[in-house]
Amino acid sequence: MTFAYPYLLYLLFLLPVIFGLWYWGRLSRKARLRRYGNPAHLNHLMPEASKYMPAVKITLELLALAALIIAVARPRAGEKEEVENTSGIEVMIAFDVSRSMLASSTDDPNGVSRLQRAKYILNRLIDKLDNDNVGLIVFAGEAYTQLPITTDFLSARMYLDEISTDMVPTQGTAIGTAINMSINSFSTDEEINKAIIVITDGENHEGDAMEMAKYAKSLGIEVDVIGVGSLKGAPIPIDAKKGEFLKDASGTPVTTYLNEAMAKEIAEAGGGTYINGSGNKAVDNLIEQLDKIKKSDLRHVSYKASAEQFPVFVWIAIILLVTDLCVLPRKIGWLRKFTFFSK
C-alpha cells in the first residue's frame, strides 16, 4: 500500500499523546476520589460507574481518529497503472482570490461571480491538460502554494473546488509575488518547458508584476493571463442575499473593474498571451497557445479509481464513531449482575 500524502501519517504520533493525557486525567480523578474515602467504599456509592467503559470509549475514538488520518493520507492499493512516457509541459496556475473576485464577472451586478467563472474556466482547462503536469497557487496580498506540480488531476479538481476568497487573510493583488512563487514551484528539470497561467481581474496593487513576468520569460517560462470581470465594473458583495456591498469611507459602494490593459502588459512582458475569460472560446484559445510550446518527455504515474482505498477507512471511522456513541460511560443495565463490570 502506498499513500498520496505520506507525510500526514506523522499525525498518528499524536494518538499516544492523546491517550497519555486521557490516562493522566483518569489517574487525577482517582486521586481526587481518594480524598473522600476508601475507593472500595466509594464504589458502592456509585453503582452506575464502570471501570471499563471509559477505556472502551477512548479506544474506539482513537481508532476512529487513526482511520481518518489514514484516509486523509489517501492510501492506494491494488493495481497501479503502468508508467506512461508522454509529451507535455509543466503548468502552474496562479489563481486570484482577492475580495474583488466576489464581484460579478458580467455587466449584471448580480451575475456569476468572477471567482465562480474562474473555477469554471480552470475546470475545463484541467480536463484538457491530460498529458501535462499541473500545480496551483492562490494569491491576494500574499501567495500560497495550494497544490505542488503533480499529475494527480483528481486532487487538482478537489483543491480547485475548495478555493475561496477567505484563503488568504491579507488583501491585495500581488500578481508579481504569485508569478515568483510559480517560478520556484516548477521542477528543476531544465529540459521540461514550463508555463504560468495567471487568472485575475487585473486589479494589481503591487508594482512588480511586469518585472516578474519579464524574469519568467528570461528563464524560458511563458506567462499567460486570463482576465475575468467586467469592463463596466461591478460592486463587491459582502452579503449577496441582503444586497449589501463593500463601501468606502464616504459610504459609496466600491466598484471594481477588469483591468485589461494591465493584464495585457503582464502577458506581453511574459512572452505569453492575454485572453478574456468571458468568451466561450477562452479555454480553447488558451490550449491553442499552450500547444505552441514545445513538448518535453514527462513521466506519468496514475492510479485506477479502484486503487483508492480512502473510502474504506472513512467507513471504518464512521462505524467506530457510531459504536462510540452507542457505548455509555456507565454500566450497561442488563450486565450489572456480572461481576466483570463491578470491579
pLDDT at residue 79, rounded to an integer? 54
pLDDT, average across residues 240-257: 73
pLDDT at 341 > cutoff 50 = no
The length of the chain is 343
Fold entry, domain 84-300: Rossmann fold (3.40.50)
Q: Which of 245, 177, 243 is nearest to 212 (CA)?
A: 177
- Taking the C-alpha atoms of residue 270 and residue 34, their distance in angstroms, rounded to an integer, is 75
Alpha helices (H) along 46-131 = 53-72, 114-127
pLDDT at residue 337, rounded to an integer? 52
pLDDT at 233 > cutoff 70 = yes
Percent of the chain at pLDDT exceeding 90: 28
pLDDT at 63 > cutoff 50 = yes
- Taking the C-alpha atoms of residue 128 and residue 188, their distance in angstroms, rounded to an integer, is 24
- Taking the C-alpha atoms of residue 164 and residue 101, their distance in angstroms, rounded to an integer, is 9
Q: What distances in angstroms separate CA 119 from CA 60, 125, 160, 168, 300, one per listed residue?
A: 40, 10, 7, 17, 25
Taking the model in full, what pTM does it have?
A: 0.62
For residue 343, count other CB atoms closer than 10 A to its CB.
8
**How does residue 95 score in pLDDT terms, banded at 50, 70 and 90?**
very high
pLDDT, average across residues 299-324: 77
Task: Tell me the β-bridge partners of 253.
Answer: 247
What are the pLDDT digits (tens) for 211-232?
999 999 999 999 999 999 888 8
Instruction: Name the average pLDDT for the chain.
Output: 81
pLDDT at 244 > cutoff 80 = no
Which secondary structure element, helix H or strand E, spans residue 39, and what is its range? helix 39-45
pLDDT at 46 > cutoff 50 = yes
Looking only at the bridges linking them, the beta strands covering 84-88 and 296-300 are antiparallel
Task: Tell me the β-bridge partners of 90.
Answer: 133, 194
- Taking the C-alpha atoms of residue 105 and residue 257, their distance in angstroms, rounded to an integer, is 10
pLDDT at 263 > cutoff 60 = yes
- What is the domain partition of the chain in residue ranges? 2-78+306-341, 84-300
Q: What distances in angstroms separate CA 323 from CA 49, 57, 316, 326, one per listed residue?
A: 19, 9, 11, 5
pLDDT at residue 239, rounded to an integer? 67
Is the Cβ–Cβ distance between 95 and 197 less than 8 Å? no
pLDDT at 343 > cutoff 50 = no
